[in-house]
Structure 1
Amino acid sequence: MARPSSYLGWKIDYARPPGEPALLDPGSMHWRVYKNPIALAVGGVAAVLLEFAEPRIRSGVWDHSNFKTDPLGRAMRTGTAALIGVYGPASAARRVIQGVTHMHARVSGETPGGEAYRALDPDLLNWVAATAVYGFVTAYDRFVEPLTEAEKSRFYAEAAPVACLYGATTSPGSEAEFMAMLQALTPRFEPHPIVDEFLATIASGRAAPAVPKPLHRALARAAVSLLPPTVRRTLALGREHDLRLAESLALKTGGRLAERIAIKSSPPCQASIRLGLPHDFLYRGEAERRRLLLAASRHRLLAAGK
């Protein structure tokens, strides 16, 4: 039996209560993408780089969290919150999101350039939510399985209700809309030593000594490779950050392998069990997943009729 995960003092049991839906449907693109650790790792670092391009967000994260002293722990907590929002029981997900929002309410300050910021500023929340969507779906497309434009747009559209719970007032419905949001913000972007320090920490392996150092370098470079060219140029991330062919192949191999390994104690598998699906539901073919979803839906209707 899997142990419940802990976040913000809440014990999150992905397998209970039986039948409680998640914020997102098991047939969603989010359930498909978030199960892959390569997509989450590469996409998560890319999202942070996009956030750090904006000086108010960069200052807020760097000055009001332990990111610089415990980047792995901070990243894991952020990842846990994201997983709860996708796979957790809806009631637990709402509690966690409310807890994150309460923490953000205490975050405010001033950038080194003298610009005031608040973590709950809708413009900042909109960008943070959008960068996560872009990072995860683009990483999955590049390093796990190619996605159609329709599949990518589904992923963007699914993210809107969860982003709204965090306080975002708008969410891009497609990659084109994300790029339009990015273009509007680009004049605000700037290079900063914190970006280089963050990437150096990721690439060095200090955050997770048990993982081979070359994998850390590959992760950092893969994340940079996801950045739109204008952002990479603005952040002054030069050729030394180029992703090597061998690194790309290693990440793609890992990403595709992870698509076939269903770990029963993991959040995706436990959430599937909670909803009356096989633990390896997400690791089966598309036709089989559709059949299982239909069977589970019929079972719930019959149970409700009784």
Structure 2
Amino acid sequence: MLGMESYLGWKIDFLHPEGEPAFARPDSVSWRVFKNRIALGVGGIAAVLLEFSDARIRSGVWDHSAFKTDPIGRSKRTGIAAMVGVYGPQGAARRVIQGVTNMHAHVKGETPSGEAYSALDVELLDWVSATASYGFLTAYDRFIKPVSEADKTRFYEEGDAVARLYGVQHPLTCEADFHAMLDKLLPRFEPHPINTQFLDIMKSGRAAKGVPKGLQSAIVHAAVSILPDVVRERLALGPEYDLHPKGAATVKAMGTVAERIPLPSSPAGQACVRLGLPATFLWKRPEKQASILHNTQAGTAASLAH
């Protein structure tokens, strides 16, 4: 059905109910960032690497999900969950997040070294949320368009409500929060074959059918490039993962294309339609967006008055 996405058996309708708001507004930084497929690709890979740096998260994902047998499918499902939190109707987002939380309640075990872990451990929930925010925002800022400090602050504020629904107790309020969390966890980080297996799969051309293998490889190297240097060193991701100028130019060029070409059937486009905006709204110039929002709000107010 048009407007539907599936996540772990739940049908998510980004087109309905008409008028139901998302947790972020159409003029939010979040809606701007998450519409760009290149930023999502780069940021998502970086987030996974940051998560897998900690053996507790790595073991939890490896032992309790389809990641080792279907890493691409699992990554795509995670991406859909992120879309729901940004663009989905609030009711649908709450249902999906509660479902994920219920599932996480059963994710417990021990790392190979014998350390106990639980997916509902607040420290791990905080870190997973932080890696996603850092990854997506940094990717957009670095490869799509520079993001002002004020807009970075807005981005973190916009994600607060959804993060807390997941059980996060310390959502990021600024990049300094991310680095403070990183400093605390850094001694735990270690290289592991799972990290390089994941990167090899993402570079293989299997991650996105129809996308040239060279571009997928460049996206992987771009993701490694936005990791803090101390993390890359801890993970032993050497010069073979360097992002060379040609690769950086390729990622930026594709990011520019993604920023300009509308995807009306995407969650972003469908969410716009749900709120009475053109499906192409997010791909228009900022001044045009402001004009459309003003006219839409004026029309809604006039309708209510009658």
TM range (shorter): over 0.9
> Where does 1:135-214 land on structure 2 (aligned, <5 Å)?
135-208=135-208, 210-214=210-214
Deviations 1:228-261 (A, max 9, x none): 0000000011111001211111111110111111
How far apart, in 1, do the equivalents of 2:305 and 2:8 lie? 38
Unaligned runs of 5+ in 2: none
Q: CA deviation at 1:295?
A: 2.3
Task: State the partner residue of 1:113.
Answer: 113
CA contact (8 A) 1:107 1:119 kept: yes
Identity among equivalent pairs (%) = 58
How far apart, in 1, do the equivalents of 2:25 and 2:207 lie? 34
Paired letter, 2:269: C
CA contact (8 A) 2:221 2:243 kept: yes
Q: CA deviation at 1:294?
A: 2.3
Deviations 1:16-37 (A, max 9, x none): 1111111111111110000000
Task: State the partner residue of 2:280.
Answer: 280
Q: CA deviation at 1:296?
A: 2.2
Q: CA deviation at 1:203?
A: 1.5
Deviations 1:263-283 (A, max 9, x none): 221111111111011111111
Q: TM-score, normalised to structure 1's length?
A: 0.96
CA contact (8 A) 2:190 2:235 kept: yes
Paired letter, 2:199: L
Task: State the partner residue of 1:88.
Answer: 88
Q: CA deviation at 1:226?
A: 0.7
SS at match of 2:19: coil
Task: State the partner residue of 1:56.
Answer: 56
SS at match of 2:6: strand
RMSD of aligned residue pairs (Cα, Å)? 1.4
Task: State the partner residue of 1:23.
Answer: 23
CA contact (8 A) 2:3 2:15 kept: no
SS at match of 2:159: helix
CA contact (8 A) 2:66 2:74 kept: yes
SS at match of 1:172: coil
Task: State the partner residue of 1:290.
Answer: 290
How far apart, in 1, do the equivalents of 2:223 and 2:2 lie? 31
How far apart, in 2, do the equivalents of 1:68 and 1:219 lie? 21
> Where does 1:192-271 land on structure 2 (aligned, <5 Å)?
192-208=192-208, 210-271=210-271
Task: Label 1:262 to 1:206 Cα distance change in 2 as closer, same or farther (>3 A).
Answer: closer
How far apart, in 2, do the equivalents of 1:294 and 1:126 lie? 37
Q: CA deviation at 1:286?
A: 1.3
Aligned pair count?
306
CA contact (8 A) 1:8 1:99 kept: no
CA contact (8 A) 1:64 1:107 kept: yes
Paired letter, 1:238: G
How far apart, in 2, do the equivalents of 1:189 and 1:59 lie? 13
Q: TM-score, normalised to structure 2's length?
A: 0.96
Deviations 1:83-114 (A, max 9, x none): 11111111111111111111111100000111
Deviations 1:48-90 (A, max 9, x none): 0000111100110111111121111001100011111111111
Task: State the partner residue of 1:47.
Answer: 47
Q: CA deviation at 1:300?
A: 2.9
Correspondence 1:77 to 2:77? yes
Q: Which moved more, 1:293-302 or 1:149-158?
A: 293-302
Unaligned runs of 5+ in 1: none
CA contact (8 A) 1:60 1:117 kept: yes
Task: State the partner residue of 1:131.
Answer: 131
